[in-house]
Every structure is written in structure tokens, then in C-alpha cells.
Structure 1
Amino acid sequence: MLDRKLKNKAFNGAAWSFLDKIINQLSVAILLIYLSNILAPSDFGLIAMLSVFIAISQSIIDSGFTQALIHKSHSANESDFSTVFYTNLILSVFLYLLFYALAPAIANFYNQDDLISVSRILFLSFIFNAFSIVPRAKLTINIDFKRQTIVNTIAVFVSIVVAVVAVKNTWGYWSLVFMTLSKSFVSSLLLIIVCKWLPKKRFSKKSFSQLFGFGSNLLISGLIATFVQNLYTIILGRFFNPYQVGLYHQGYYYTNTLSFTLTSIIQGVTFPILTSIKDEKEKMLNTYQTAIQITALISFPVFMGFAAVSESFVLVFLGDEWKDIVPVLIILSFARALTPISSLNLYVLNVSGRTDLFLRADLVKIPVLVLLLFIALPYGVIGVSICQLVLSVIAYFINAYFPAKLYGFKLTDQMKPMFPVVISSIIMYIVVIQINYNDLFLELLARVFVGIIVYCSCIILFRVPFAVDIVEKIINKVRCHKYDGS
């Protein structure tokens, strides 16, 4: 059992982290839905072609230092924080100058001349984001998600205003560029203010060596993961037109937003908690297994449900111009169902300090990815989406293998509690896709409502542990109220 203080911190952290992800991810999703009704898929596709360079650069700039500082927790000193800050800043400036020079080559690779000017402006986010790494790490160490939530909410609100003004002035894809830049700038500025921290004039080689020693494997692993995640966009951008890239990238965005929200909430709270009990193996293992079960209970119905309502969602919110995205959304939703669980399996390796295993798990996936992508490429965006689905299943088993070996439990021990949840989600999906109305909005509402009812009924019927616990608590509260009223 976690002590009361740790429980309170965990609850407060989870609550604020949840609020942060819900408000900000939902706000951005609504904005992109709005922009999708004005901008063409090709506009989104053009910006998506640069996403790999942004993601890879961000991984290099961070270099695993964020996780290293959190892992070191309260033992991190001022030299550690200042060293990381200067390292991040130097790397960000170097990468911006490098990619500024490479902009014509990038545009030539994709055969899109507009990317020269777009990339040189958009890549300024490298430098803006570098300023936020240490303040965010300090707040996370203190499990202070409240101030992070406030900062993120303000930054998102500002970026929404900027994007709407830009698109109203018919700036096209530049609306997406300035939306990204404004969010990065405002977020970094406010984090520095609320954290009340400024770097000291010191750079410690010892601190750098210690932190990079922990973070180097995470850096390599992060680069591999980033490359793997964006390889699809690179290949599609090279061999297909911006319209097809836009379809895939937006399908990836909507499903990944759901996955990222769920994964971030769980990891953002569990990492500091697991770190604080990392020397108590039994307690940490129990907490980790509990997190896996809760994640599965939420992840499967969310993604199976989104797959079931995807057609209604697209026609209601995005319009007929985006109808070709529906099969992509369905396939990627199935693929993402395992992602939060798979990520948590890797995350526990960080807590244990076994970043070498984290790296090994990612290295194993590369040949699998290349083979699948080679097979899928002739089939366009649908083939690439199916490639993602197959890879996500394989990745789950790879990611689960290493913590199972490390902590001495069987893979089936983790999978067995998930079976009734998976069956419940499949039943929900089959029932929901049977619902059809002429009114698309009514159809969407009906599918969501019926899906929730069917899933909840199934997990109670199958007596899924956490579901039964919740029902029993509700019944007990009702009985207590009745008793008090009498």
C-alpha cells in the first residue's frame, strides 16, 4: 500500500494531468476540426512532411535529460539543471541553423518548393521548446501538474486565436505554422515565469556525464522511436501527393491524440510515483501491474469505440472532402488500442534504470518495420495503415517481454486480465456499427451512448475486477444514503 501522502500526491497529480490533457488535446482537436472545414487535406499534408524533422530535433535537444532529471528526482542540484539548460539551448540553435541550411534539400526531396520558406519559419520552434525542458522537469519532479495545466491551457488558447485569425485572413497552411510557433513560444515563456527558475552561470561536466549516461540510451531509443513513427510520413511524402499524406497524417493525429492523452496521463503520474518506490520491488511491481490493468480497461473501449463511430465523426465534423480518411481512421484506431499498454511496459524499464533494455526493445522493431513497410507501400495509405496495425501487435509482445523477464512474471499473467476487456470491446464494436440513422449527428450520438452502455454491461457481466469494485462502491454509497435518510 502506498502511504497516504503519496496517494494524495498521486490523486492530485492524476487529476490535474487528466484536466490538462483533456482541455488542451480537446481544444486542439476542435481547432483542427474547424480548420479542416476550411483548409484542404493537401495543406495538412504539406506541414506533415516536416513533422519528422521537428520530432527528431526535439528528441536530440532533450537527449533524455528530462527523464534523467526526473529519475534523479529531488537529489538533482542546481548544477544539474543549469547544465541541462545550456546543453538544450546549444543543441537547439545548432539544429535550427543546420536545418535552415538544409531547407532547399528537404523541399527537393518532397518535390515541394513551398517547404523552403515554411521550414525555415516553423523550425524556430526548436529554440522556443528548448527553454521549456528544465522548468517542465522541475515541476514534474514536484508532481506539480496544476501549474503545468494552467500554462498549457493559456498557450493553447493563444495558439487557437492565432490560427483562427490567420485562416480568416486566408493564410492557408501558414495558419498551421503560426499555430505551432505561438504555442511553443507562449508555453516556454510561461513555464519559466511560473517555475521561477533561471539558470546559473555554471556548466558541470560531471553533471553532464551523469545525466547523459542515463539519458543517452533514451536519446537513441527516442530517435529510433521517432524515426519509426514518422517513417510512414516520410515515405508517403516522397512517393505520394500532399492530399494522401494529409489523409494519413490527420488519421494518425486523431488516433494518436487519444493514445497520447491516455498514455501521458498514466506515465506523467506513474513515473514519479514508481521512481519514489523503485527500491521496493514488490510494491513497484504491484503498482505497475495495477496501472496496466486500468490502462487496458480504458484503452480498448476508447479505440474500438472510436473505430465504430469514425464514419459518423468524419461526415459530421470534417465533411465530405475528408470521407477518404474513414478506413484509415478505423485501422489506426485498432492499432492504437495496444499503444498505451505497450508504452507503459517500456516506461517501467526507465524507472528501473534499465534504459539499455528500453533501447534493445526499440532496436528489435526496426527490421520488422522496414519489412512491413516494404510490403505495404504498393497499397498506398490503406496498406501503410494496416502495416501500423500489425506492427503495434508485434511491438506489444516485444515491449512486454523485457519487463516480464526483468521482474520474473509471465507474459500470460499480464494478458489474462485483458481478455474480458477485449471481448467486451469487440462486442461493443459489433453492436455499435449496426446503428444507422438518416440524421448523421443523431447516429453519432446514438452510437456513443449505446457503446458506453454495452461496454459497461459487458465488463460487469464478465466481472472485470476494477469494474466490479466501482459498482460495489456505488451500491454501498446508495445503501448508506438510504440508511442515513431513514
Structure 2
Amino acid sequence: MEPRADISPASGPAAILPLHDDVTSRSVRAAGWVAVSSIGNVVLSFAVFLVLARLLNPGEFGLVAVAVVFIDILLIVTRGGLPDLVVQTERLDAAFADTAFWVALASGCAYALALVLLSWPIAWLLRLPELQPVLAALAVTFVVSALGVIHEARLQRTFGFRSLAVRALAANLAGGSVAVVLALHGFGVWSLVVQRLLATSATTVLTWAAFPWLPGRRFDRGHARRQVAFGSRVFSTQLLLTLSIRSQEVIAAYFLSTADIGLLRLAWRCIDLVSQVAVIPLASVALPTYARLQGRPGELAAAFNGFVAMSAVLALPAFLGMAAVAPTLIPLLFGEQWRDAVPVVRILSLLGPEFVATSLLWTIFTASDRTRAALVLAAGQFGITILVAVATAPFGLSALVVGHVLRAYLFSPLVVIAAGRFVPVGNGRIAAALAPILACAALMACGILLVQDAVYLQLGERAGLAAVIVGGVLAYGALAAILLRDTLRRSLALILHRTAVARTSVPGIVPEPEASSSPKTGLGPTGRIAGGKA
């Protein structure tokens, strides 16, 4: 059963490409559902964490934390880039989809078996014998997840993010509820293992329900070779980008103390919290959006610039505002023992503009099938990150983090230049789009720094912090209404799907005319009428 028209058997295996404004508007609405899912999952995860933290001892939490490190990294390998290829492929036929499903399932089974076999030596090397059964049990998630990744990708092709968001929330709610019940009955570490297994299983089942496609028995070796080649480059790139951040913790463990590692991890969690709300939703819908616009580089660049502006409007004030109130916010949220994380949070918050731009930029390489270039760039970034971290870590945690921020701002322009070879994006355009937003956010943060001590003195820390945050939001809103009027108008137009207003002239965001598509006839690069279903 095919609930979405991403395959067109009547007229050949071609996906019909929508017009730019329709694609971008659908992307914005999809990002809203991703934001709902992200916020809901953050709140739910934090609530489950608080409950379980009172029921389980730190050793039990630490045991699963070690196991989850392996799972999270290997899940990148398990997906193998296949969902990205399914989303990116302009023409998706039945044989291609069937082959992708069986390749994903075979990979999941292989990695599950590998983790079970490696669970004994891993537990022996880490001197944690109780880790072996935990790893062996969690290996099942590879198979279960593989059963649903192609269904998830096909939902993404049709912008079915509402279904994905609702089902992710339901799955996590089910897993968290069962984990709490099991912990109350003394199952200890296994309550967290069951949570992970149940959430993954529920997600797969509900994804099948949302997209009830039954894969056929077809297996095309040509498709399989392309999928493995493309997927290996994508997952290698994703793995290197992930390791570029996580490697800091390994290097900090060698040069610094375990306390420094904890401070660094907490600071990154704070950055992640902002990104889950302001950056990840748009980054999640970037691939299907860019894929629909491949072959029309001007429109793809317009979508990218629009996403950057919309994300920055929320993310930059959140990053800089968090940096301003960090001396009060961090101890109140996590306890006085975490006060030393304040300077780390403040330094990492400076990554805001770079983080927004690059989070939405890397996907262009995948959508445009430039995965080799992305892999080379990711490898270069990883190598430079290691060198910078090794050079700065001996001087302390702050030096390590400053080095990471400087590396990001020096290397990211090279990524933009590489993307600019096949899509009209540039460092100057990105800087011009971000500059007024950054100015508003910086003015708001400076205002908070000037008044917060007096507010805390009058109202106390808790009430004062709430007052300062509300005041900062109002101040930023007033500045944005004055200085960011065009950006806000375009964002509102896209949200409301008002395409006439969406064509309002905004520097760096207006779609450029394309020789490969006719604005009069609506013909896409393949000669088909644009505007149909994905």
C-alpha cells in the first residue's frame, strides 16, 4: 500500500517537484512539528531523568551511559546514510525502495551481531563485566531501528513530519512510563535498557502505521551498490562530525580531570537544549527541502538563506541570552556544584552564528549528491579539531573550548566556499543575513548584563531571573520589530503559506532566476510540471 505519491508508476518512476515557495512553506510547517516533537521530548526526557535519578544510584546510570555512547555512535553506522539517499533521490522507483529496505535490514542485523560478539571484550577492557549483558540487549535496537528507517525516510520525502513528531512523542512517552514503573519495582539498570528498547520498537511500529508500505522481495544489485557507496560516505561524514565534538571529551580525559569532562558535557547539553528548539527543527526538514530543489541551485540557495534567517531569529538571542544569565541560571538549574561550568557555557554560546549556518549547510552536500566533497571536508575538520584540542587542552578547560570556537570560525568559511561551487551561497551573504539579527541579540544581552544584578538584589535570584528573561524577550522583540522587519515578514509569510508575500524582497533570500526552470510554465528541470506531490 502506498499512502504517499513518492512513486509514480503510471508515468514512470519520477518524483514531481513542487515550486520553490510551496516547498519552502511546507518545510516551515514541517519544522513546526519537529519543534513540537523536540520540545516535547526534551521536557519528557528531563522529567523521566528526574524521577529515575531519585530511584537509581549513579553507578547504574553510569553503566547505561557507557553503553549508550556505543549505541549512539553505531546507530550512525546502522542507518548507513540510506534514509538520506531515499530522501535525496529525485526519482524513487519501487525496486530502489525495496532494495534500500533489505540493505538497511541486513546492515542492522550485521551490526547487532557484531556488538553482541564485541560485548565481552568491551566489558573486559573497561573492567565492567556487568556491561556485557547490557550491550548485548541493546544490540537489538539496531535490527528494530533498521526495520523502520526507510519508512521514516519516505515520510520525510512527503513532508510527513507531523506524523513522525506525534509518533516520536508517543513512543518516548511509552518507554519513559514503563521505565519509571520498572525502576519503582527494583529493576535498576534494566529499567533504562527496557526504556530504550521499547521506545525504539514503538517508533518503528508507529512509523509503519503512518506509512503502511510493505516492501517487496526485489533486490537490485546495481541499486544496492549505489546505496552502499552513497551511504558509506554519508555515515562517515556524520560520524566524523560527531567525533569532532565528542573527541574533546576524550582529549580532556587525558590532559584534564574527570570534573572538567563533566563541566564540558553539561555545557554542551545547554547548547543542545537551545539547538533542539531553534536549529534542529529546520535542519531536520532541510534535506527533503533541498532534495526537491536540486537542479535549481538559485532556489536551493534561497531556501538555505531563508532557513538561516528564520533559525537565527530564535537561536541567536537564546544563545547570547543564556550566556548573559548563566551565572544565575546554571546553579539554579543544576546545583551550586556546577558553577564552574558558567565560563564554558558562555564561550560555547559564541558558536551561535556558526552553528546555525553550518547545521543548515552540510545537508546541501547530501541533497546535491556531493558526498565525496562533504567527506573530505569532514575529515579535514576532524583532523584540525584533534590538533587544536591537543594543543590547547594542556592550558586548561577554557583554553580547550576557546580553541574549539576559533577552529569553528576559521574552518566553516571553507565549507561555505566548497558549497558555493555548485550552489550560489557565500560567506558574505550569510554574514549579511546574520549581522542584523546578531546585533539585536547582542544589544539584548548587553542590556541584561547591565541590569540583572540590580534586579536580583530587588527580587532575589529566582524571581529576578524570571523577570530578567521576560524583560530580555520583550527587549529583543522590540528591537526585532524595528530592525528585522523584512526577515520577520518573510518568516510569517512562509508560515502562513502566503506565497505572494513570500516573494517580498529580502536581501540574500530572494530566489534567483533559473535557466533550467520556466517561471511562466512552471516546468522543473526534468520538463515535468512542478507543484505536484513529492
Return the match for 1:63 from 80, 89, 96: 80
2:243, 2:338 → 1: CA distance? 27
- Indicate the percent of aligned positions where both proteins have the same amino acid: 20
**CA–CA separation in structure 2 for the residues paired with 1:7 and 1:321:** 45
- Alignment correspondent of 1:135: 151
- Specify the alignment match of 1:367 in structure 2: 383
Residue of 467, 471, 474 corresponding to 1:446 = 467
Deviation at 1:88, TM superposition (A): 1.9
Q: Which letter does structure 2 place at the counterpart of 1:15? A: G
> C-alpha distance in 2, partners of 1:88/1:23?
29
Could you tell me whether the CA contact under 8 Å between 1:42 and 1:245 is conserved in 2? no
Relative to structure 2, which stretch is displaced further, 226-235 or 5-14? 5-14
Q: Is structure 2 residue 54 aligned with structure 1 residue 21?
A: no
Aligned to 1:314: 330
Bigger share in helix: 1
Deviation at 1:113, TM superposition (A): 4.7
Alignment of 1:457 with 2:478, yes or no, is yes
Distance in 1 between the 2:201 and 2:398 partners? 36
Letter in 1 for 2:41: N
Distance in 1 (CA, whole Å) between partners of 2:184 and 2:411 is: 43
* Alignment check: 8 A CA contact 2:256 2:393 kept: no
Match of 1:390, as an amino acid? L
Residues 241 and 130 from structure 1, CA distance in 2 versus in 1: closer, same or farther, beyond 3 angstroms? farther
1:466 paired to 2:483: no
1:223 aligns with 2:215: no
Letter in 1 for 2:234: L
- CA offset digits 1:182-204 (Å, max 9, x no partner): 22121112212322123222322
Cα distance in 1, alignment partners of residues 82 and 332 from structure 2? 43
235-244 vs 327-336, greater mean Cα deviation: 235-244
Name 2:115's counterpart in structure 1: 99
Q: Following TM superposition, by how much is the alpha carbon of 1:283 offset from its aligned partner in structure 2, in angstroms?
A: 2.2
CA 23–283 in structure 1, closer or farther in 2 if over 3 Å, else same: same
Give matches, 1:43-62, under 5 Å.
46-62=63-79
Cα distance, 1:81–1:294 mapped onto 2, change above 3 Å: same
Specify the code of the residue in structure 2 equivalent to 1:206.
G
> What are the equivalent positions in structure 2 for 1:269-348 lying under 5 Å apart?
269-348=285-364
Cα RMSD (Å): 3.3
Quote the Cα distance in structure 1 between the aligned partners of 2:290 and 2:282.
11
1:360-397 deviations in whole A, cap 9, x for unaligned?
A: 22122122111122124335655544444333323432
2:175 is matched by which residue type in structure 1?
S
Structure 1 match to 2:525? none
Whole-Å separation in 1 of the counterparts to 2:253 and 2:124? 11
Distance across 1 between alignment mates of 2:353 and 2:436: 15
> TM-score, length-normalised on structure 1?
0.85
Taking structure 1 as reference, are residues 164 and 126 closer, same or farther at Cα in structure 2, changes over 3 Å only?
same
SS at match of 2:452: coil
**SS, match of residue 421 in structure 2:** helix
Structure 1, residues 199-242: CA drift from partner, whole Å, max 9, x if none?
22232212212333433321221222232232234445677776
What displacement does 1:172 show? Answer: 5.5
Aligned partners of 1:341 and 1:40: how far apart in 2? 40
Q: 1:13 and 1:472 mapped to 2: Cα distance?
A: 15
Q: Is the 8 A contact 2:88 2:367 kept in 1?
A: yes
Task: Provide closer, same or farther for how the CA distance between residues 327 and 38 of structure 1 changes in structure 2, counting only shifts above 3 A.
Answer: farther
Other-structure match for 1:432: 448
8 Å CA contact retained: 2:35, 2:276: no
| Contact map agreement 2:24 2:303 (CA 8 A) in 1 | no
Q: Which stretch has the larger CA shift, 233-242 or 399-408?
A: 233-242
1:48, 1:233 within 8 Å by CA — same for their partners in 2?
A: no
CA 1:365–1:28 in structure 2 vs 1: closer, same or farther (change >3 Å)? Answer: same
Stretch deviating more after TM superposition (347-356 or 405-414): 405-414
- After superposition, the Cα gap between the structure-2 partners of 1:472 and 1:14, relative to the gap in structure 1 and judged at 3 Å, is closer
Q: 1:82 aligns with which of 76, 98, 102?
A: 98
Q: Partner of 2:423 in structure 1?
A: 407
The 1:122–1:242 alpha-carbon spacing in structure 2 relative to 1, beyond 3 Å, is farther
Q: 1:370 to 1:6 in 2, by over 3 A?
A: closer
Determine which of 169, 175, 179 is the counterpart of 1:153: 169
Q: Which residue of 1 aligns with 2:248?
A: 232
**Equivalent position to 1:188, from 204, 218, 221:** 204
Contact 1:110 1:237 in 2 (8 A): no
Unpaired runs of 5+ residues, structure 2, are 1-17, 495-534
The Cα shift of 1:471 comes to: 10
Equivalent position of 1:484 in the other structure: none
Instruction: Please tell me whether the aligned partners of residues 300 and 422 of structure 1 are also in contact (alpha carbons under 8 angstroms).
Output: yes
Instruction: Give the residue type in structure 2 aligned to 1:149.
Output: A
C-alpha distance 125-25 of structure 1, shift in aligned 2 (>3 A): same
AA partner of residue 142 (structure 2): F
Q: Write the distance in 2 (CA, Å) between the matches of 1:42 and 1:252.
A: 22
TM-superposition CA deviations, 1:53-108 (whole Å, max 9, x none): 223321222111111101115x3223222222222222222222222332344345
Judge conservation of contact 1:51–1:230 (CA < 8 Å) in 2. Answer: no
**143, 151, 160: which one aligns with 1:144:** 160
For these two proteins, the number of residue pairs brought into alignment is 472
- Is the alpha carbon distance of 1:123 and 1:86 closer, same or farther for their aligned partners in structure 2, counting shifts above 3 Å? same
| 1:56 alignment partner AA | I
CA distance in 2, matches of 1:267, 1:88: 23
Which residue identity does 1:91 align to in structure 2? S
Given that 1:420 and 1:464 are in contact with CA atoms closer than 8 Å, whether structure 2 keeps it comes out as: no
Give a deviation string over 1:287-332, Cα, whole Å, max 9, x none.
2222222222222112122233334443333334544444443333
Superposed CA deviations along residues 309-361 of structure 1, whole A, max 9, x for unmatched, are 33444333333454444444333333355223112122122222222221122
Alpha-carbon separation, structure 2, partners of 1:393 and 1:105:
40
Q: Which amino acid aligns with 1:27?
A: L
Instruction: Give yes or no for contact 2:267–2:344 (8 Å, CA) kept in 1.
Output: yes
**Normalising by structure 2, what TM-score?**
0.78
Q: Distance in 2 between matches of 1:470 and 1:226?
A: 30
* Partner-residue secondary structure (3-state), 1:338: helix
Structure-1 separation of matches of 2:188 and 2:253? 19
Q: Structure 1: state its 5+ residue gaps.
A: 474-486
